[in-house]
Amino acid sequence: MPPADAFMTALRHHQAGRLAEADRLYGEVLAAEPGHLHALHFRGALAHAAGRNEEAVELIGRALALNEPVPELHYNLGLALWALDRRDEAARHWARAVKLNPNFAEARLNLGNALREERRFDEAIAQHSAAVQLQPNAAPAHNSLGLSLAKAGRDADAIHHYRRAIALQPGFIDAYLNLAMAHANRGETGDALALTMHSIGIRETPENKTLFAGLVSGISIDRDEPELRRVLIRALEQGWTAPNAIATACIGLIRHGPARGAITRAAQTWPARLPAAELFGPEGLAALNDPLLLALMSRTVVGDAELEKFLAACRFALLETAGAALPDESATLLELACALARQCFINEYVYATEASEDARARQLRDRLEAALASGEAVPPLWVAAVAAYRPLHELAMADALSARPWPAPLAALLVQQIREPREQAALRANVTQLTAVEGEVSRAVQAQYEVNPYPRWIHTGAPRKYASIDAYLHERFPHATFRALGKTGGLDILIAGCGTGQHAILTAQQFEGARMLAIDLSSASLAYAMAKTRALGLENIAYAQADIMRLAGIERRFDLIESVGVLHHLADPYAGWRVLATLLRPGGFMRIGLYSETARQGVVAARALVARAGHGATPDEIRRFRRDLMQRGDEPARDILRFNDFFSMSECRDLVFHTQEHRMTLPAISEFLAAEELELIGLETDRATARQYAARFPADTAMTALDCWHAFEQDNPRTFETMYRLWLQKPAQPQ
């Protein structure tokens, strides 16, 4: 076939979507005529569409060499370059396309996107405004203009264009999410959440599920909302995010849901218990059969005092019911019992009991052991009731229990309480020791976490992935100034104090190709982390037992070091911080989390109360402290009931009974950063706090003036009640 005929046939195949045949024929044309401009161009476009962008750049580049003033060549070459992350080159070709053809709307659109990414917002707005003028009915043009306006702080103008984009294209998910973000930035969280849920109803995407999780954590629930309940159940069951991130919203709905009457009565009766007949009678059981409650109990700590009192009552009612001779079990009751037992395992049996309740639990445990030993039939409810008081892997007859067939809810309970703890015990014997653990404080802290690995978690969501740490920081701190690391793969990361691995796993998933070392004092915590990492199929995290104070001797250096909630437990936090800084490469980043002296006054009061009362740190003493505190009406230490950490054994011990705790102030941190030549990129805060700070200190656009933040914190003491979380950068060269 002559080249001219082959080209026309290839073009028809291309237009009809028969791409493989078109590609073959373009190749035949180029074999006969290597300088065929259009075959080079269109075959390059096909290569880009197929993800072969190096080939696309080569082909379109050859075409461009033949005829440079063709705007479409510059446009398509820009697409391939952008896909290869050669963004400056891509932007130059789009700018050239616009110069050659000022009416080239698509080129203006992409050029504006590139300019916005470079934070040249006014220029981006100009390009996107021109694109909208050229294509007034193009939803992507309005959406892109809205984004550029939003980045420039013009949310009201952005909202107009997002709404126009949605009107033009009602299924445009990105426009819904951008509109939701604009409302969230203005403090209109309810509107933002409604828009996000509407987009989820159109089509679920990673982006709208992530935004939903972020928004729902900041709303106040004052009634049951069926649609929100439905989406939250999906979020829990499908793992859209870490369950604790959305637990507060779930708890609000549960407290206003079908079980609200029983919850109120149980809280009013506590520490006495409601009778089993009231909770587990036909009406009571129907009210307790709340899918949201069951999903939450199975996945994370239920951190609410009223719900704890209610669940403690349900546990005792379960014990009473199971203790009856071969109880008549319903599937609903068994599912509830297994979810409750899983909750008790997750919170490490933190609920307080009386001696009589303990005795009844031991009696049922003995009956279960005897039945298993003799091969007798065992009611599944017995197993769930025993598991709600002590973990099943402690049973002498645990193997016999595992060998029997069980209903699905109970089988899942056995995995949690027998198989997984045994896997962790086996892994603990093989933990690599990177350094010795030395010093009185380090050994005392190690001993605490060997007994109580911290924190116990079940599921974590899949975080958004970023091409680079630079992209992450630009999004997280849009007004911050820092030197780009310029590394898009193979980031070397140290997690110093990884605990049970949740932090390390999330960070490893965020950055593609990262090489991570995660260290901790506690072999029990590391074994938990290793088991979770293995279950997720991650292979880029190396775990090791090590003392931060001994890390100076290792040869490895890192692009990113994260140590959140760790340094304040060292004998000298600033000495540990200096050690970590020596392991950071020039220009590398550091994320540090430290307790605030101002924000933790409730914790200080609780620790003082513990000291006055002479409480030890055994599980029974922690339970007794918690029960006593929940009964005190005016104790300042009750402020810690707002902390989710109060509601599990290991976290309560970490919160109030820790063997070593320092609390910091922003002026002291500022002095340290200056002395160590570490540059502040930003502090992590929620949107509401950021808005309040910006209104008070508008001149600090980067939000990095620690003296201003100190003044803000004095007037808003709960600002950093979890921790100060600081992002820092080491100078590229010694100063």
The residue-averaged pLDDT of 192-214 equals 95
Question: 291: cis peptide before it, omega within 30°?
Answer: no
Structural domain contains residue 202: no
Q: Is 620 helix (H, G, I), strand (E, B) or coil?
A: helix
The residue-averaged pLDDT of 147-160 equals 93
pLDDT by residue (tens digit) across 52-99? 999 999 999 999 999 999 999 999 999 999 998 898 999 999 999 999
264/408 same-domain check = yes
Q: For the chain, how big is the Rg over CA atoms in Å?
A: 30
pLDDT by residue (tens digit) across 695-718? 999 999 999 999 999 999 999 999
Mean per-residue pLDDT of the chain: 93
Structural domain contains residue 97: yes
pTM of the model: 0.89
Supply the range of the domain harboring residue 496: 435-597+663-735
pLDDT by residue (tens digit) across 661-697? 999 999 999 999 999 999 999 999 988 899 899 999 9
Local confidence band at 479 (pLDDT 50, 70, 90 cut-offs)? confident
110/134 same-domain check = yes
527/625 same-domain check = no
66/132 same-domain check = yes
Task: Output the domain CATH number for residue 15.
Answer: 1.25.40.10
Amino acid present at 412: A
558/467 same-domain check = yes
Give the pLDDT of residue 325. 57
294/381 same-domain check = yes
The pLDDT of residue 734 is above 60 = no
The pLDDT of residue 455 is above 90 = no
Burial of 634 (0-12, 13-18, 19+ CB in 10 A): exposed
577/606 same-domain check = no
675/721 same-domain check = yes
Structural domain contains residue 246: no
Of 368, 393, 428, the last residue of a domain is 428
Amino acid present at 242: A
9/139 same-domain check = yes
The count of domains in the chain is 4
pLDDT by residue (tens digit) across 100-140? 999 999 999 999 999 998 889 999 999 999 999 999 999 99
Task: List the helix and strand counts (H, then E) for the chain.
Answer: 37, 7
590/605 same-domain check = no
Structural domain contains residue 53: yes
> In angstroms, rounded to a whole number, what is the distance separating the alpha carbons of residues 74 and 100?
10
Look up tokens 């999004």; give the residue. 475
Nearest to 175 by CA among 655, 339, 167, 47: 167
Rounded (to 5) percent helix, strand, coil in the chain: 60, 5, 30
270/365 same-domain check = yes
The residue-averaged pLDDT of 204-233 equals 93
Of 139, 166, 193, the last residue of a domain is 166
Task: Output the domain CATH number for residue 482.
Answer: 3.40.50.150
pLDDT by residue (tens digit) across 243-298? 999 999 999 999 999 999 999 999 999 999 999 989 998 888 888 899 999 999 99
Of 131, 166, 201, the last residue of a domain is 166
Structural domain contains residue 210: no
Structural domain contains residue 102: yes
Give the pLDDT of residue 220. 87
Give the pLDDT of residue 326. 55
Nearest to 36 by CA among 14, 5, 71: 5
> In angstroms, rounded to a whole number, what is the distance separating the alpha carbons of residues 578 and 728?
13
Look up tokens 């109880």; give the residue. 327
pLDDT-wise least confident of 379-383, 393-397, 470-474, 492-496: 470-474
Nearest to 214 by CA among 458, 461, 465, 532: 461
The pLDDT of residue 600 is above 80 = yes
**CA–CA distance from 635 to each of 182, 185, 408, 642 (Å)?**
41, 37, 44, 13
Structural domain contains residue 690: yes
- The proportion of the chain whose per-residue pLDDT surpasses 70, expressed as a percent, equals 99
Helix or strand (DSSP H, E) at 544: strand 541-545
Give the pLDDT of residue 328. 59
Structural domain contains residue 658: no
> In angstroms, rounded to a whole number, what is the distance separating the alpha carbons of residues 476 and 241?
18
97/155 same-domain check = yes
Give the pLDDT of residue 327. 56
The residue-averaged pLDDT of 332-352 equals 96
Give the pLDDT of residue 500. 96
The pLDDT of residue 383 is above 90 = yes
pLDDT by residue (tens digit) across 615-636? 889 999 999 999 999 998 777 8
pLDDT by residue (tens digit) across 267-276? 999 999 999 9
